[in-house]
Structure 1
Amino acid sequence: MTETRKSSAARARPLIVHQALAVLFMASIVVLFGAPARAEAATIDLTGDAWSVEGFDDFGNVWDGSTLVIETQDFNGTDYELTGYFDWVGVGPSCPAGCSGRELFTGTLFGDLNLELNGFDLIDPVGIVTASYSAFAFDELTIVNGVWGPLHTPVIPGEWSASRAGAPSEIPLPGAAALFASVLAGAFGWGAVRRRTARSRNAH
């Protein structure tokens, strides 16, 4: 009985590896050819309601409570030209009494939904300077992977993100990744059922 079970398990191992490789191949095909199409830039409107900005910099200053307003978004070939402003509110080691001010910018929303903004003027600045910004417009409610750095004046590097009312608290998995996870789970589940069935037959 023991020898039968051992040999059955040994035969099952190559089958499990084969199933796993097949699932990985199928998932790669789905990712390459069957993933839901991402929204093009033409469907993303960043104007309208103010964006709530969260950020921090390398000196430990925190910029939560700041806002971003994109006033214009004009089509230009495959991209959009943008104008707008940040209203910065920050506190930290570099500005213990608080930093604030409005930073005007121009920028571009590219066809791949990457975002670049360049500050060019300040209104009532307290401890802020103009900077260059980049990020990714995940959708009309969420901007992620934001960073900033020097433009014309020294600036402390930092990271930022922005959201509008209705944005999810977490970025959802892309459709292809979710499908891959479900297919993988199903394949290993089916393999487990087959192993249990084989053991049951050997026991009899």
Structure 2
Amino acid sequence: MTLNDWLDVALRDLAPAAWDRMTAEYHAHVQDAMHSGLTEPEAVATLGDPAQVNRALRRTYATDEELSNSQGAWMWMFSLLVVTSYAAVTLWLVRPEAATGPLVALLLAPLIWLLVRREPQPVRNFLLATAGHWIVNFSLWMNWMLQLWRGDAPPSQGLLWFFPVLWLVWMLDAGRRIQRIQRTLKLGDRA
């Protein structure tokens, strides 16, 4: 296998900054091995399985799709629209206290925006998309908790404890993704 064939598999879908950095490192490694007397296929074989290398690199660096994802702002706006509609419907059709969850979620929305607005664009897009899902879930969860507190058991009480666990998992996953995105963005800054 030639180095270019190996790189096509090993670096597939990585962001351009990571692609460039890893290409330079692997080229240098193969050149060093060839100066030691190995042929190109033998030197490339020392790099390992390109599919496994790709999986390892994708755990370390962001993919091109993650850096170019521009859906965050749209997801955020759509989520705010859903929560606003939920608040309006509950105020109008149900009872005013049933709108507490979505109204509190809407009050938290500007705080969330202030926290993420200074992040680099790829990080901000990811955080807004994640926060959009969270704000919808939070409004539902808060209403169900208030129902339970008033003695009016919500339809599925198991979800009351599921949502905080889901949020914890989301936070851990978000932290890992943000680290990968930031690590990849730093590679681009060095170039």
- Please give the range of the TM-score, normalised by the shorter of the 2 chains: under 0.3
Higher helix fraction (1 or 2): 2
Q: Give the TM-score of the pair, scaled to structure 1.
A: 0.25
Q: Of the two structures, which has the highest relative contact order with CA contacts closer than 8 Å and spacing of 6 or more?
A: 2
